[in-house]
Amino acid sequence: MKADTQKVILNLPATAEFVDVVRLNLYGIASKMGFSYEDIEDMKVAVSEACNNSVLYAYGQNDGHIDVTFEIGEETLSITVEDEGESFETVKGGGEESTLHDKDLNDVQIGGLGFYLMQALMDDVSIENVAGQGTRVVMSKSLALSEERV
């Protein structure tokens, strides 16, 4: 981590009510960094998808928590969402990388579009699943230069 990077870390119950807390923190941080309204809304959707996957799939009926880390760089905001529950692929019964190519939209399982949505809305997305250790989603978005917004 660079010396000029700041971190904000949230440790929240893995329940739907707390996803709004993550969104509010994201809004505050991204606004201070100078992100556009549209970029902030995109990031809010992406972080909600990552949190909702943890809420819906990681712990089943058991209590759990989600760690959300915002790494604030000079030009880039990186958001990490981690849980220690079952991985999304384990719950879905696969482990292989899946794509939407050659699939009818009706064949895509509910929740399966979340990762594609995150990738479409953020500059970079990586997902790590470790059996028995949970899931870690790392997303980042860089500030657009004002010349590019014209």
Residues 6+ apart with CB under 8 A from 86: 57, 58, 59, 60, 134
Indicate whether 26 pLDDT > 90: yes
**Residue 111, in any domain of the structure:** yes
**Residue 96, in any domain of the structure:** yes
- How far apart CA 37 and CA 40 sit, in angstroms, is 5
**Residue 1, in any domain of the structure:** no
Longest CA–CA separation in the chain, Å: 49
What global pTM score does this model have?
0.79
How many structural domains does the chain have? 1
Bridge partners, 80 (sequence order): 69, 138
**Residue 150, in any domain of the structure:** no
Query: Phi first, then psi: what are they for 76, rounded to 5°?
Result: -130, 140
Please write the tens of the pLDDT for every residue from 30-63: 999 999 999 999 999 999 999 998 888 888 777 8
Structural contact between residues 68 and 51, judged by C-beta atoms closer than 8 angstroms = yes
Per-chain mean pLDDT for the chain: 81
> What's residue 7's pLDDT?
97
Cα dihedral across residues 81, 53, 51, 48: positive or negative: positive
- How far apart CA 47 and CA 100 sit, in angstroms, is 21
Indicate whether 111 pLDDT > 80: no
106 is in which domain, residue-wise? 6-145
**Residue 41, in any domain of the structure:** yes
For residue 62, give the CATH number of its domain. Answer: 3.30.565.10
- How far apart CA 30 and CA 32 sit, in angstroms, is 5
- How far apart CA 19 and CA 29 sit, in angstroms, is 16
